[in-house]
Structure 1
């Protein structure tokens, strides 16, 4: 499982989201994608970051958008059979 954290440099909310992932023991499973370097990603996530996504070829996993906390992160992972 690889979790994508859509982010951009200098985003304090993105830093908070990353800390939650680290605290959940997911540091090695996080791929941080800076939306500033991709027009399509910037258009999609420019005002909603941080956003978490999981690429799953078996089924569609809904993204988790900010705001989220430890409990909602855990619920998202469990609901999607990732935690």
Structure 2
């Protein structure tokens, strides 16, 4: 069973697009990520509570309560995902 990685994002966020591209790259090119994770985008603009939590921090990736906030590099993302399988 794959773990869901939530990507807290909003329309027009170029950093969010970069974070998503990094995850998708790993999903296609890193067996450990491909076999263990799927991405779910969460639009923060649909919830005042999410805007309050993430409005100035996006993009933020989360598996359960464990979050990885921007900025992060590809290697950091791999390490974070490995710790959250």
Shorter-normalised TM range: 0.7 to 0.9
After the TM superposition, which residues 2-81 of structure 1 pair with which residues of structure 2 at under 5 Å, given as runs? Answer: 2-25=4-27, 29-55=38-64, 61-80=65-84
What is the alpha-carbon distance in structure 1 between the residues aligned to residue 42 and residue 4 of structure 2?
12
Aligned equivalent of 1:58: none
What is the alpha-carbon distance in structure 2 between the residues aligned to residue 6 and residue 79 of structure 1?
19
Where in structure 2 are there 5+ consecutive unaligned residues? Answer: 28-32
Residue 79 (structure 1) shift: 2.4
- 2:66 is paired with a residue whose SS is coil
Greater strand fraction, Structure 1 or Structure 2: 2
TM-score (norm: length of structure 1): 0.84
Cα deviations by residue, 1:43-78 (Å, 9 ceiling, x for unpaired): 0000000000012xxxxx520000011100011112
TM-score (norm: length of structure 2): 0.82
Where in structure 1 are there 5+ consecutive unaligned residues? Answer: 56-60
